[in-house]
């Protein structure tokens, strides 16, 4: 799977669930959707489980330096 | 006796001006007054007005450079404290107050400035709801602009780490009060946008007096927030405090903690939501499989698929039925033909020559087997056969007796 934002993944998962629930797909497609949905859910879960909050700092001094360069 | 000095008007006015200009008391005066006859020169940018109290008035002018620094717009009837110097406009012999700075008088000064800026930005449409950008549901990076040491930053970081530790926080520490605060806050907003370095910004400060919160009422902050392409959540002071920054921001939060709550989803809620999605996904997939299986079963249960011989059997049955009908008909035909045949053979039997022989008649035959009908056709001494009902007599012809044909006979 491509590198995906959590938001994009959740949205895709929601779409897949909706599509599966509508049930207009041939079985093969439905199984593919299910497989993809499972992967997306795993990705999202891993994303949520991941992580101590990372805190970094952006200082205005950086901004002055960068604007000096211009 | 001194000769009187005769001056020109110009000389006189120049002299008066020099006297007044050299008076230290008049070079920096504060005057409390009400504005009247205000003339706002749009072209030059200078303000001309009359300052008055109940009894007196004085002409006043505020040149463009000073006027531009005003935080409010002077209006007629407004009470102000003006600071400036007294000098003389020589052409008209007019002494007047040259205003360097002016504040609205009284406690309402800041409120007035607030109301005026609010009205101005509102008129520009900066508060319009159609300008508000949606706050992303799942920000990966949250930019926080606030004091590094205040209570606000602690509250915000605490909530963010409790609710959604997944998101990264980029903190840009700024002064949130004092002379440099507004410029720093504005610069920080621009800095985040130069990346962009965040998916959502929280611009915040804990509670304080209106003066403490003032930086968030400055136009430079309002403009920076309005220009931000990153959605901005503003959380300044307590629930009851409203700042210009709040109005311009995409979302106002009543407190810094609330801003953090609004900026991120709750991880636990997300997890249960995700769980429900997975459940629905599995369920839906299983339902699809079940449906397809049911359809398959329905199809295989149909007789034509249940046994491929059925069609053949049906065909065979039809064929059998046809055959039995045919056989029945054939039997009927044979039966009637048989009856007819036995009737005919009965008749035939009755007409048989053998039956005649049994009554005592005999048939004479040439040796070749053909019937002798005329005695004259047989030679004396030849042999003939005489057939009886039973057996044959082989006879020699002794004599031939011709019977004369009777009259009428041939």
Q: What is the pLDDT of residue B62?
A: 94
Identify whether B117 is part of a domain.
Answer: no
Q: Are residues B216 and B101 in the same domain?
A: no
The CATH number covering residue B57 comes to 2.40.50.140
Is residue B187 located within the same domain as residue B90?
no
Q: Are residues B249 and B152 in the same domain?
A: yes
| pLDDT tens digit at each of 70 positions of chain A | 345 788 888 889 999 998 888 877 788 888 888 899 989 988 888 888 876 778 888 888 765 554 443 3
Contact between residue B70 and residue B112 where contact means Cβ atoms under 8 Å apart:
no
Cβ–Cβ pairs < 8 A, chains A and B: 117
Q: Where are the domains of chain A?
A: 6-69
Predicted confidence at residue B227, as pLDDT, reads 96
- The share of chain B scoring above pLDDT 70, in percent, equals 95
DSSP symbol at B48: E
pLDDT of residue B209: 83
Domain that includes residue B229, residue range: 139-268
**Residue B185 DSSP symbol:** H
Half-sphere exposure at residue A9, Cβ-oriented, CA atoms within 13 angstroms: 25
Yes or no, beta carbons of B187 and A44 under 8 Å apart: no
Residue B48 lies in a domain: yes
pLDDT of residue B380: 84
Higher pLDDT, A59 or B136: B136
Q: Where is the domain boundary, B240, B268, B296?
A: B268
Among the candidates B268, B298, B315, a domain finishes at B268
B144 and B237 fall within a common domain: yes
Give the residue from B106, B131, B156 where a domain finishes: B106
pLDDT score of B409: 44
Residue B97: its pLDDT value, please? 96
For B252-259, what is the mean pLDDT? 94
- CA distances B372 to B166, B167, B376, Å, are 139, 141, 10
Q: Which residues of B touch A5 (CB under 8 A)?
A: 138, 140
Write down the pTM of the prediction.
Answer: 0.57
**What is the CATH classification number for the domain harbouring B153?**
3.40.50.261
Distance, CA of B179 to CA of B35 (rounded, Å): 28
Q: Based on the fold, state whether residues B261 and B144 are members of the same structural domain.
A: yes
Our CA-based measurement puts residue A7 at a distance from the nearest CA of chain B, in whole angstroms, of 6
Domain co-membership, B147 together with B47: no
Instruction: Give the pLDDT score at B308.
Output: 64
- Specify whether B156 is located in the same domain as B209: yes
Q: Does B187 touch chain A (CB under 8 A)?
A: yes
Domain assignment of residue B86, yes or no: yes
Q: What's the pLDDT tens digit per position in B17-76?
A: 999 999 999 999 989 899 999 987 768 889 999 999 889 999 999 999 998 888 788 888
Strands (E) across B176-228 are located at: 200-205
3-state SS track over chain A: CCCCCHHHHHHHHHHHHHHHHHCCCCHHHHHHHHHHHHHHHHHHHHHHHCCCCCEEECCHHHHHHHHHHC
CB contact under 8 A, A55 and B165: no
pLDDT, mean of residues B82-95: 93
* Chain A nearest CA to B183, separation (Å): 11
Q: Residue B281 domain-assigned?
A: no
Q: What is the mean pLDDT of residues B293-302?
A: 82
The rounded Cα B305 to chain-centroid distance in angstroms is: 43
Q: Flag whether B200 is in a domain.
A: yes
pLDDT tens digits along B198-218:
999 999 999 888 888 999 999
| Contact residues, chain A, for B287 at CB < 8 Å | 23
Task: Answer whether residue B105 shows pLDDT above 60.
Answer: yes
Q: Is A60's CB within 8 Å of B174's CB? A: yes
Asked, for residue B323, whether it belongs to a domain, the answer is no
Over residues B219-245, the mean pLDDT reads 94
CB contact under 8 A, B281 and A10: no
Number of domains forming the structure of chain B: 3
ipTM over 0.85: no
* pLDDT for residue A64: 56
C-beta atoms of A48 and B270 within 8 A: yes
Q: Identify whether B158 is part of a domain.
A: yes
Is B217 among the domain residues?
A: yes
Per-residue pLDDT, A27: 81
Q: What is the pLDDT of residues B340-390, one digit of tens each?
A: 888 888 777 777 777 777 878 888 888 888 888 888 888 888 888 888 888
């Amino acid at each position: 799977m491509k590198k995906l934002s959590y938001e994009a993944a959740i949205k895709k998962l929601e779409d897949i669930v909706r599509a599966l629930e509508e049930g207009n797909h041939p079985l093969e497609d439905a199984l593919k959707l299910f497989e993809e949905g499972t992967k997306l859910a795993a990705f999202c879960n891993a994303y949520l489980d991941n992580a101590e909050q990372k805190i970094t700092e952006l200082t205005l001094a950086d901004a002055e330096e960068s604007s000096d360069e211009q | 006796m001194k000769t009187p000095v005769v001056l020109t008007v110009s000389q006189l006015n120049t002299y008066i001006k020099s006297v007044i200009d050299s008076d230290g008391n008049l070079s920096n005066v504060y005057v409390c007054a009400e504005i009247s006859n205000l003339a706002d020169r749009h072209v030059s940018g200078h303000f001309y007005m009359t300052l008055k109290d109940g009894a007196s008035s004085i002409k006043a002018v505020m040149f463009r450079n000073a006027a531009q620094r005003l935080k409010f717009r002077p209006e007629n009837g407004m009470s102000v404290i003006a600071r400036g110097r007294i000098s003389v406009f020589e052409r008209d012999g007019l002494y007047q107050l040259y205003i360097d700075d002016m504040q609205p008088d009284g406690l309402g000064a800041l409120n007035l400035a607030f109301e005026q800026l609010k009205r101005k930005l509102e008129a520009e449409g900066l508060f319009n709801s159609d300008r508000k950008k949606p706050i992303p549901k799942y920000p990966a990076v949250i930019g926080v602009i606030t004091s590094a040491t205040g209570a606000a930053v602690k509250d915000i970081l605490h909530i963010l780490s409790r609710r959604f530790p997944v998101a990264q926080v980029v903190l840009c520490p700024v002064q949130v009060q004092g002379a440099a605060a507004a410029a720093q806050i504005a610069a920080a907003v621009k800095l985040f946008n130069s990346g962009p370095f965040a998916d959502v910004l929280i611009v915040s400060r804990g509670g304080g007096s209106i003066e403490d919160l003032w930086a968030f009422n400055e136009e430079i902050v309002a403009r920076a927030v309005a220009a931000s392409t990153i959605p901005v959540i503003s959380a300044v002071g307590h629930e009851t405090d409203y700042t210009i920054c709040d109005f311009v921001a995409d979302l106002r939060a009543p407190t810094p903690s609330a801003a953090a709550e609004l900026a991120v989803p709750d991880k636990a809620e997300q997890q249960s939501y995700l769980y429900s999605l997975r459940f629905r996904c599995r369920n839906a997939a299983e339902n699809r499989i079940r449906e397809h299986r049911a359809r398959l079963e329905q199809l295989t249960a149909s007789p034509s698929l249940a046994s491929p011989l059925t069609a053949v059997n049906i065909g065979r049955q039809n064929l059998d039925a046809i055959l039995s009908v045919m056989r029945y008909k054939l039997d009927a035909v044979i039966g009637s033909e048989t009856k007819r045949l036995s009737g005919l053979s009965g008749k035939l039997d009755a007409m048989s020559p053998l039956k005649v022989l049994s009554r005592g008649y005999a048939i004479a035959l040439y040796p070749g087997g053909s019937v002798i009908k005329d005695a004259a056709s047989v030679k004396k001494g030849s042999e003939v056969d005489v057939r009886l009902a039973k057996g044959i007599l082989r006879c020699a012809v002794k004599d031939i007796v011709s019977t004369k044909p009777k009259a009428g006979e041939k």
